Chain A
Amino acid sequence: MSNEQESTGGVRTSSAEGGELRERVFGLRTAVLRSDAVTGVFDRITGRERVFASVQAGFGLGWMLVFLFAPLLYIVSLSFWQRGAGGVVVQEFTLANYEYILTESVDLASLTFKNLYLTILFQSLKYGVFVTVGALLLGYVPAYFLGRTVTKWKAALLLLVVLPFWVPLIIRYYAWILVLGNQGLLVSMLGWVGIEASGFLYTELAVVSGLTQALLPFMILPIYNSVNEIDSSLIESAKTMGATPLRSFYEVTLPLTLPGVSAGVILVFILSVGSYMAPALLGAPSNTMVANLIESTFGQNLDWPLASAMGVVYLFVLFGLISVFNRFVGLDDVFGGGAE
């Protein structure tokens, strides 16, 4: 638009042609949008105002019904069926899959897991706690800095927090392999200061630190949002009243950032518990998490009913956690509020 106004005499002809073309396109669009065929169909849909309202929201909800809820309901029924020879599903009712989950001991990579699934579920929750605590410790200070700084680089600095989120996870974990590996960067850097080390990969530490790094933006952004919303005169008046910087932080800033902290904690915890790639790429077999167990049961052992039962138990735990969190913070606040 502005180009058109800025154009000078020399290009006036072409811009006039452009204007004519635009006019013609606009005319064509108007003709289509006013044609009986189009408006007729539209009228038929909108004829009943309330029907159309449900149709609008129903687009997304219907999509979720077909591609999320129906599949999830299907694996619930699958979890009560049996696995036949060669991975064929036999549609006969059984509780064997759940019995297996609750009782079976399994040898995996020379380690015996009593109650394999429950042990691994517990391990996933444990890693989730580690990652959440790690992300909170690492994320709070940068979020506070971003919320309080007045530099003109603020937008760029915020962008640097968001950017890693766009990089495919597989690449972020691969980069972590390069850092932690046997001939990795950390080993050679430690070598410069005279410390002998032999790589840190395939350990619990590697899984937890990789996940912490991957999920850190989910902690920083909501906390940043709540720091950013604090009226700085509140902090100033605390100081005027004689509060030390630390005291004004504890009494004013920290309570006001708690909504951001809880949103970040919930997001990071839920996402880390369901992680697949970090344990698969950075961990040893003993660092397996629930998602990996489901994948190997489904993809390698071809035991779809058992994998489904494992998925159902995971969903139960997930929705249990969500309903607990929901008492403190609404899920919609976490996503809708946190992202704005």
Chain B
Amino acid sequence: MSSRDELGWAAVKGTTGLVYLFLLFPLLAVVIISFQPSKYPTFPPEGLSLTWYEAFLDSDRMLSALTNSFIVALGASVCAGVVGTITALGFVRRSFPGKNVLSSVLFLPMIISPVVIGVALTAFLTRMGMQKSYLLLIAGHTTLVLPYIFVTVRAQLYGFDRAVEEAAMTLGANELETFFEVTLPLIAPGLAAGMLLAFVISFGEFTATQFWVQPATTTAPIEIYTMVRTSITPMINAMATVLMLITVAVPLALDVLLGKNLILKSGL
């Protein structure tokens, strides 16, 4: 490597560092500020305290919002997991006309503004006489996260050796046994990664969700938005830190426990 190469590479490294700072510093700041006692954020922080975490744990509203987010995210990721897996199987293993265009259809929830999806589903289901409930939230969120399961399971299926299925059938397993004993365990990494991603996205979704909640089913992001818009209290920092723990640390820990970097390998 010439010295000119090295200089160029050092510049690349330095720029990368600055972009990482831009990307991560604000989030880190929220975590740090959440542990300081004063009412107004100061940086560097003055002292450590768990005051705002206590306030957060005392707030019934916050806890019930967290519970609601859990119910909806769990429901949506399981529902999308089932629908997405069957769909990916159909797309990878069978041929039918218009496959490419139809697979693009499955990505639409990722690119249409969630406001429009939220408004359209609300208007449509109101017209059908459906009340706002957990069911509406889970159905809506399933629509929003389905593309992610489809992508991860499909990627897993592309690298699938169908000879193992034929071996199972030759040895006397019927189609259902083959699916549950052979196919499913082999696509499990992609499915698990997709479902974790689906859980995380559903858990944090605000924009479409604001049209679908009613007071009893309010989710955590809605509560935080209301707090940010009305009165910014330092409790938001504690709540935000807890949410980051749930959406980042928990999936990462699961990822390590279930296998090696499934999520990372799957791309997103």
Q: Which A residues contact B (CB, under 8 angstroms)?
A: 29-30, 33-34, 38-39, 42, 46, 53-61, 63-64, 67-68, 70-72, 74-75, 78, 138-139, 141-142, 144-146, 155, 158-172, 174-179, 183-185, 188-189, 213, 216-217, 221, 244-246, 267, 270-271, 273-277, 281, 290-292, 294-295, 298-299, 304, 307-308, 311, 314-315, 318, 322, 330-332, 335-336, 338-340
Q: Which B residues contact A (CB, under 8 angstroms)?
A: 2, 4-5, 8, 12-13, 15-16, 19-20, 22-27, 29-30, 33, 40-43, 83-84, 86-91, 93-94, 96, 100, 102-117, 119-121, 123-125, 127, 139-140, 142-143, 146-147, 150-152, 154-155, 174-177, 180-181, 197, 200-201, 203-207, 210-211, 220-221, 224-225, 228-229, 232, 236, 240, 243-244, 247-248, 251, 261, 263-264, 266-268
Q: Would you give 6 A-B contacts (Cβ < 8 Å), ordered by A?
A: A61-B106, A63-B143, A67-B142, A168-B220, A175-B27, A271-B111
Task: Provide the bound-state CA to CA distance between A72 and B105, in Å.
Answer: 13
Instruction: State whether A169 touches B204 (Cβ < 8 A).
Output: yes
Task: Provide the bound-state CA to CA distance between A30 and B173, in Å.
Answer: 9
- Contact residue among B93, B107, B121, B251 (Cβ-Cβ distance under 8 Å from A335): B107
Instruction: State whether A145 touches B83 (Cβ < 8 A).
Output: no
- 15 new A-B contacts at CB < 8 Å, known A75-B123, A142-B16, A245-B5: A33-B176, A33-B180, A54-B90, A56-B86, A57-B90, A59-B86, A159-B264, A160-B24, A167-B247, A172-B27, A176-B26, A245-B2, A332-B103, A335-B110, A336-B103
Main secondary structure of the interface of B (DSSP, over half): helix
Instruction: State whether B29 touches A168 (Cβ < 8 A).
Output: no
Measured between C-beta atoms, what is the minimum distance from A249 to chain B in Å? 9
What residue of chain A has the Cβ atom nearest to residue B220's Cβ?
A168
Chain B residues near A160: list those with CB within 8 A: 20, 23-24
Instruction: State whether B23 touches A168 (Cβ < 8 A).
Output: no
Task: Provide the bound-state CA to CA distance between A283 and B115, in Å.
Answer: 17
Chain A residues near B180: list those with CB within 8 A: 29, 33
Task: Provide the bound-state CA to CA distance between A244 and B2, in Å.
Answer: 10
- Contact residue among B119, B146, B151, B244 (Cβ-Cβ distance under 8 Å from A307): B119
Instruction: State whether B90 touches A58 (Cβ < 8 A).
Output: yes
Counting from the closest, the 3 A-B pairs by CB-CB distance are A168-B204, A56-B90, A274-B113
- Contact residue among B33, B40, B124, B203 (Cβ-Cβ distance under 8 Å from A71): B124
Task: Provide the bound-state CA to CA distance between A305 and B13, in Å.
Answer: 52
Instruction: State whether B90 touches A38 (Cβ < 8 A).
Output: no
Instruction: State whether A74 touches B124 (Cβ < 8 A).
Output: yes
Contact (A145, B96) CB under 8 Å given A188-B42, A277-B207, A332-B103 = no
Specify which of B89, B123, B203 lies most central, judged by the most chain A CB atoms within 10 Å of its CB. B123
Chain A residues near B41: list those with CB within 8 A: 178, 183-185
Contact (A311, B143) CB under 8 Å given A64-B105, A170-B206 = no
Instruction: State whether B143 touches A64 (Cβ < 8 A).
Output: yes
Task: Provide the bound-state CA to CA distance between A295 and B151, in Å.
Answer: 30
- Contact residue among B30, B176, B203, B261 (Cβ-Cβ distance under 8 Å from A175): B30
Measured between C-beta atoms, what is the minimum distance from A149 to chain B in Å? 8
- Contact residue among A68, A185, A273 (Cβ-Cβ distance under 8 Å from B29): A185
What residue of chain B has the Cβ atom nearest to residue A291's Cβ?
B115
Chain B residues near A336: list those with CB within 8 A: 103, 151, 154-155
Measured between C-beta atoms, what is the minimum distance from B195 to chain A in Å? 13
Contact (A276, B139) CB under 8 Å given A59-B83, A59-B87 = no
Contact (A332, B107) CB under 8 Å given A142-B19, A164-B24, A276-B114 = yes
Instruction: State whether A175 touches B240 (Cβ < 8 A).
Output: yes
Instruction: State whether A170 touches B19 (Cβ < 8 A).
Output: no
Contact (A155, B104) CB under 8 Å given A38-B176, A39-B174, A53-B90 = no
Instruction: State whether A339 touches B175 (Cβ < 8 A).
Output: no
Contact (A171, B244) CB under 8 Å given A58-B90, A335-B107 = yes
Chain A residues near B181: list those with CB within 8 A: 29
Instruction: State whether B111 touches A68 (Cβ < 8 A).
Output: no
Task: Provide the bound-state CA to CA distance between A160 and B4, in Å.
Answer: 29
What residue of chain A has the Cβ atom nearest to residue B244's Cβ?
A167
Measured between C-beta atoms, what is the minimum distance from B136 to chain A in Å? 10
Instruction: State whether B151 touches A335 (Cβ < 8 A).
Output: yes
Measured between C-beta atoms, what is the minimum distance from B141 to chain A in Å? 10
